[in-house]
A and B are shown apart, each in its own frame.
Chain A
Amino acid sequence: MVSNTEFAYNSKVEGEVVVSQADAVINWVRRHSVWPMPMGLACCAIELMAAGGARFDISRFGMEVMRFSPRQSDCMIVAGTVTYKMAEVVRRIYEQMASPKWVVAMGACASTGGMYRSYAVLQGVDRIVPVDVYISGCPPRPEALLDGMMLLQEKIRKEPGASGLFRRRPNEPFVAGAK
């Protein structure tokens, strides 16, 4: 005769049950499976590649799945100098990414234009896409990138609610000198 308990949850086989909130679980899952979109535009991309190699091993954080398709990625890593001519491409790829999505400005050029105080270079990628994490360096070492990505993980962990991730993210224009 088969007892009722064998059809129910068997804690001896399945392990302990963890009770949590859906939001916390969703954020936990997202945090540990950030699939980056490598927007490699200059030498920062070399460091980004190094971070993907065995020595620095970005896969320890569940981020090794670099997706060149915006449809399959969660986090755009803008690694390099964004020219005005390239700006529309960066913006368009960002718009093609499915929410929730995040942006990391890797290095001085992506963050502020860097040393390119020039007629041709966008003075910070935050003028066209909302940036979540800025990483200093020219280029940043892979450790700095990993540190930035861990900061991003912290940010994802603290996302207020999974439903809120689908809201239209504010992207107010940068106005020099505005408070």
Chain B
Amino acid sequence: MDTIVETLKAKFPYVAPRPSADHPAVNVPATHLREFAQRLRDDFGYSMLLDLCGVDWDQDSPRFGVIYQFYHAAKKTYLRVATLAPDNANPAVPSLAALYPAADWHEREAYDMVGIRFDGHPNLTRILMWEGYPYFPLRKDFPLSGIETELPAADTTAATHAKVIAAPMMGGPFYAATEGLHHMSDAEPRARDQSWTEAQPKPGQKG
């Protein structure tokens, strides 16, 4: 199954095999990523980029990485390529938008959610959150409920005094039971601690 990994490893000295439970996977340094993707497309027939996603490895260094899923349309095989952004403070990897049009919006999403810059991207702006939103919500240090900040529109703020707030968690996050189910209603997601609500704050905690 991993003959493609062996082939790639023989052809490109910087390619390293990557442990994988399903499809062949390789690690590629960010500096060689664009050249590698170009060869992958032109010489090896991986004509489609199915998906790419930014990853925050939390305590690890390099902290940020991007994982690409390539597809060989003729052989109907997949290849996973992982890369790491060398700079933790200002993570950046080369953009593949010029090679694979599919990368365009996916890279914008990874930039929006994880804050990885894609050098050479034609229009690297936020795609889900609004321009000017100060955080990257899928980073590990971003709280689940969000952080209080201003609404995108100043006129709405002026008229309503509404803000982006940290969402009340009501004892959440919520978990669904997976075993010991006698009835489907037992599978309803519940907070681990239901002793407090918005109206009745957690003991020893304001709000």
Contact = CB atoms under 8 A, between A and B. Distances in A.
Interface of A: 84-85, 87-88, 91-92, 95, 113, 116-123, 127-129, 171, 173-174, 176-177
Interface of B: 128-130, 135, 137, 142, 144-147, 151-153, 155-156, 159-162, 164-170, 172, 198, 207
A88 B168 contact: no
Given A91-B156, A119-B145, A84 B164 contact: yes
Contacts of A116: 167
| 10 A-B pairs with the lowest CB-CB distances in the bound complex, closest first | A119-B146, A88-B153, A173-B161, A117-B167, A88-B156, A127-B162, A91-B156, A128-B160, A85-B130, A119-B137
A86 B156 CA distance: 11
Nearest to A175: B161
B112 to A, nearest CB: 11
A122 B157 CA distance: 13
A171 B207 CA distance: 24
A117 B169 contact: yes
B152 A113 contact: no
Nearest to A177: B207
Contact of A123 (B144, B152, B153, B168): B168
Contact of A128 (B146, B156, B169): B156
A174 B151 CA distance: 14
Given A128-B162, A177-B207, A84 B151 contact: yes
Contacts of A173: 160-162
Contacts of A177: 207
Nearest to B166: A119
Contacts of A121: 167
A113 B167 contact: yes
Contacts of B151: 84, 87-88
A171 B159 contact: yes
Nearest to B148: A119
Contacts of B161: 173
B168 A84 contact: no
A64 B166 CA distance: 38
A171 B162 CA distance: 11
A117 B156 contact: no
Nearest to A91: B156
B165 A123 contact: yes
